Amino acid sequence: MSAQDRNTTFGRGPVGGRGPMGGHGPMGRGGPMAMMKGEKAHDFKGTMLKLIKYLGAYRVPIVVVMLVAAASTLFTIVGPKILGKATTRLFEGVMSMIAGTGSIDFGYIGQILLITGGLYLLSAALSYLQGWIMTGVSMDITYRFRKDISEKINRMPLKYFDGTNHGEILSRVTNDVDTVSQTLSQSLTQIITSVTSVVGVLIMMFTINWLMTLAALLIVPLSMVIIGLVVNQSQKYFKQQQDYLGHINGHVEEMFGGHIVMKAFNGEEKSVAKFDSYNNTLYESAWKSQFLSGMMFPVMNFIGNLGYVAVCILGGWLAIKKAITVGDIQAFIQYVRSFTQPIMQIANISNILQQTAAAAERVFEFLNVAEEVPETESPIELAMVDGRVEFKDVHFGYSPDKIIINDFCAAVAPGQKIAIVGPTGAGKTTMVKLLMRFYDVNSGAIQVDGHDIRDFTRFDLRKLFGMVLQDTWLYNGTIMENIRYGRPDATDEEVVAAARAAHVDHFVRTLPEGYHLVLNEETTNISQGQMQLMTIARAILADPKMLILDEATSSVDTRTEILIQKAMDNLLKGRTSFIIAHRLSTIRNADWILVMNNGDIVEQGKHEELLAHNGFYAELYNSQFENAQMAAA
């Protein structure tokens, strides 16, 4: 029977011939902010503008929060001034009693105390209100960020994940978003209250006495110098702290992800040594950063006390000259005591904003990564699927400068079973990734039933295929749910039928909870072979028109493999299938075999023809047969 009689042509070369197809933040505000790439944003201004734009939907509640926070702070600021009147009246009453000319006006003092208490209560109520509003806003923004990132992940090209550490992506979803959230819920209102406090206190101090105010302001330049020195020294240690926190997270994830292999090769000592190295550096940088930042408060308190002493001496001198009342001195001292704190907060917030910008920049950087090629505006929907597949002069490389598939041509008739074999790295799995549009070809085309696969939506295209991979994937759910993942609307009876066809039903019924057994996150409560069988059952349940099997029986024993082969033979009838296999004994009954090496199809034909040709396929097959004999011996 000729290739034409089989309605199948692969390239343009004879059996065994080479056709034209080719190859293939610092530890503040409740915890560390694990930003692995440092603390400062590369584009602070641009990132903050993006963040402000992102917050545009919340402009009304944010404006309300600003007004409420400012009002709360103003009520607190006015308190000492009013309370000073009570102090003055009390002092005057005491002096009158000593002179025998009067008494203390407790009624007036009581009124002042009630007014002051009312202001402080109102301030507390407004502070609670702004906190409640801002918490809702920040949580909603956090929800939006994580939702946008989650949706973005599903639109990202596979090559991004091939070149990006999973822990890095996880860090953006968790740590970076949390950093932005904390800034919005805490620091935004703190900025408002701190600025309002500085301006308001300064105005109140000037209304009391300008000379005392100038004396108090002498501490500001000194404070700024001290803050600048401490921040410059501590910043490099904060950066080192965050870098090594990321290293530790990555190391722990790596070691626990492969702890069986690590233990098998006695790598515990090396792993612990590496962890200790990271941990010691983290300890030193964290200690220095926390020590330096902790120094700021006692030093600033000392400077504030110097100003406090100067104000007390000057106030006493002015009181003797009757240029100021005792109540105003008391109020002014309160203002001086509360003047340095917001200045320190503003300095600290500037550092926090740098961290926030760095976190937001990483989030926006992720959200701006180039996505998959957009879907076609007029997608094709096939009423009937025949399963005809054709590769036309396909060229592809994971990077433009390194093409690994060159001029790949193949035509597959409906219902045929096509085996793709070859050594590791030959390009077998790459062809499957192109067929499923995990990657797009650089040039050429892949067609299904005469239509370019780029004319389908990815959803509709992938719905045409069932796929069983060598690397099994099951999630934290019951066995029933994991099999049903292939077709969510399937009934329990259909799930069980698919399980029987894949020889899953027998071992499931021996488990304590049967189909309702919950697989743990590492799926260590079933064997690797049982996991493989379940993924095959999932594909059977999906009942697709075309199948892709990438080393689908690599993790099962020989007896189970024979059973699966029988089930697969029944499943493959009437379906176009692509089978990637290292064990060539499993594909002897394939309709056509493509032999790949270095991205090229070096041979093609049926099993017997390829063996008779005594070429590359025969060499692969005989080497496996010899290895099997040696192993048996």
Within 13 Å, how many C-alpha atoms sit on residue 120's CB side?
11
Sorting pLDDT into bands at 50, 70 and 90, what band is 495? very high
How far apart CA 570 and CA 543 sit, in angstroms, is: 12
How many domains is the chain built from? Answer: 1
> For residue 511, is pLDDT > 80?
yes
**What digits encode the pLDDT tens for the residues 243-257?**
777 678 777 877 776
**Which secondary structure element, helix H or strand E, spans residue 558, and what is its range?**
helix 558-572
Average pLDDT, the chain: 78
The CATH number of the domain holding residue 254 is: 1.20.1560.10
- What pLDDT, on the 0 to 100 scale, is given for residue 22? 34
607 within a domain of the structure (yes/no): no
**pLDDT tens digits, residue range 84-95?**
888 888 877 888
Domain-embedded: residue 67: yes
Q: Does 292 fall in a domain? A: yes
Tokens at 587, concatenated: 């594909």
Residue 422 lies in a domain: no
Lowest mean pLDDT among 469-473, 476-480, 505-509: 469-473
Instruction: Find the range with the poorest average confidence among 374-378, 468-472, 626-630.
Output: 626-630
Comparing 570 with 205, the larger pLDDT belongs to 205
Is the model more confident about 25 or about 485? 485
List 465's β-bridge partners, or say none.
Answer: 546
Look at residue 445 in the predicted model and tell me its pLDDT: 92
Confidence of residue 187 (pLDDT cuts 50, 70, 90): confident
Note whether residue 276 is domain-resident.
Answer: yes
**How far apart, in whole angstroms, are the C-alpha atoms of residue 125 and residue 123?**
5
- For 519, which DSSP code? P
* pLDDT, position 173: 74
The helix (H) or strand (E) run that includes residue 601 is strand 600-605
User: Tell me, what's the pLDDT at 41?
Assistant: 63
d(CA 465, CA 547): 5
* Short-list 368, 33, 311, CA closest to 171: 33
Closest by CA position to 548, among listed 442, 372, 430? 430
Q: Residue 9: pLDDT above 50?
A: no
Q: Which helix (H) or strand (E) holds 445?
A: strand 443-448
Domain containing 142 equals 44-367
pLDDT at 10 over 50: no
Write out pLDDT tens, residues 360-379.
888 888 888 777 777 778 88
Q: For residue 136, is it within any domain?
A: yes
Beta pairing partners, 420: 580, 594
In a domain, 517, yes or no: no
Query: 71 with 397: CB under 8 angstroms?
Result: no
Cβ-contact 310, 304 below 8 angstroms: no
- Do 562 and 602 meet the contact criterion of CB atoms below 8 Å apart? no
The pair of structure tokens assigned to 162 is 């091939």
pLDDT exceeds cutoff 50 at 611: yes
| pLDDT higher than threshold 50 for residue 54 | yes
The full DSSP string for 331-383 is: HHHHHHHHHHHHHHHHHHHHHHHHHHHHHHHHHHHHHTS--SPPPPSS----S
Q: What is the predicted pLDDT for the residue at 15?
A: 35
Taking 50 as the threshold, does the pLDDT of residue 405 lie above it? yes
Helix 59-99 to helix 188-208 angle (10° resolution) is: 30
Residue 228: pLDDT over 60: yes
pLDDT category, 556, cuts 50, 70, 90?
low
Phi, psi of 391 (to 5 degrees): -100, 125
**Residue 269 maps to a domain:** yes
